[in-house]
Amino acid sequence: MTWNDDFILILAALVLVIPHLVVRWRNARRGMRRSRSQSPRIDEAVEHSYRFRVGFALGRLPAPPAKRLAVVTCMDARIPVEALLGLAPGEAHVLRNAGGVISDDALRSLILSHHELGTQEVLIVQHTDCGLSHVREDALRARLERITGARPPVPERFHAFTDLATSVRTQLRRVQAHPWLAGRVVARGFIYDVRTGHLGEIADAEGLAGAAGDVSPVAAAE
């Protein structure tokens, strides 16, 4: 075997080994960063995104949601919105906030969702054991001011409530009353039971969805 042959073998070995060494070095660096990180859960989420993009096949989805549906629900981590409603990527706009309320910002999003992206139906889902049903506006604001020493103008309200069905009707009225949405979209309100997974519909102000004051089962639920 000549010197040139030895050189070629060594070079080939380096070509095979170096990429593995680089990967190990990068993983070690990531591990060091995670060990010092103040946001390890964010690090985990970003790490997952690297695997998510392998075989990514959603790049051709159009911006308008295929089902022309907008969902407004709570940010509560116990609500698996897509699994609950049978939604796939690209099928609906899902807006989440504390309480699943039709706040000014939720209205802003719904108006854009309808007028710019063609949604025709609004599904509002609030839920049992909601944190906003366990607090009072004045007490919460006073506690935050005491903890932080600040009294900012925003948010003006936290939308705390005591009666869940009444709250759902309030959200329906806010959609139905807005002049840029009234008569243009169909809105319906529901309560999700975090203990049983049951989704029950609430009558709106005019009693169009079952008996007023009742939580009626969705037709296909049982």
Does residue 102 share a domain with residue 21? no
pLDDT at residue 78, rounded to an integer: 98
Does residue 112 share a domain with residue 19? no
Does residue 48 share a domain with residue 79? no
* Whether residue 212 has pLDDT greater than 70: no
DSSP one-letter string for 194-211: TTT--EEEE--TT--SSS
* Whether residue 130 has pLDDT greater than 70: yes
Q: How are the residues of the chain apportioned to helix, strand and coil, as percentages rounded to the nearest 5?
A: 45, 15, 40
Going by C-alpha positions, the residue among 170, 169, 140 that lies closest to residue 155 is 140
At residue 216 the predicted structure's pLDDT band, cuts being 50, 70 and 90, is very low
> Number of structural domains, the chain?
2
| pLDDT 10s digits, 31-44 | 655 557 899 999 99
* Whether residue 21 has pLDDT greater than 90: no
Q: Residue 115 sits in which domain range? A: 69-217
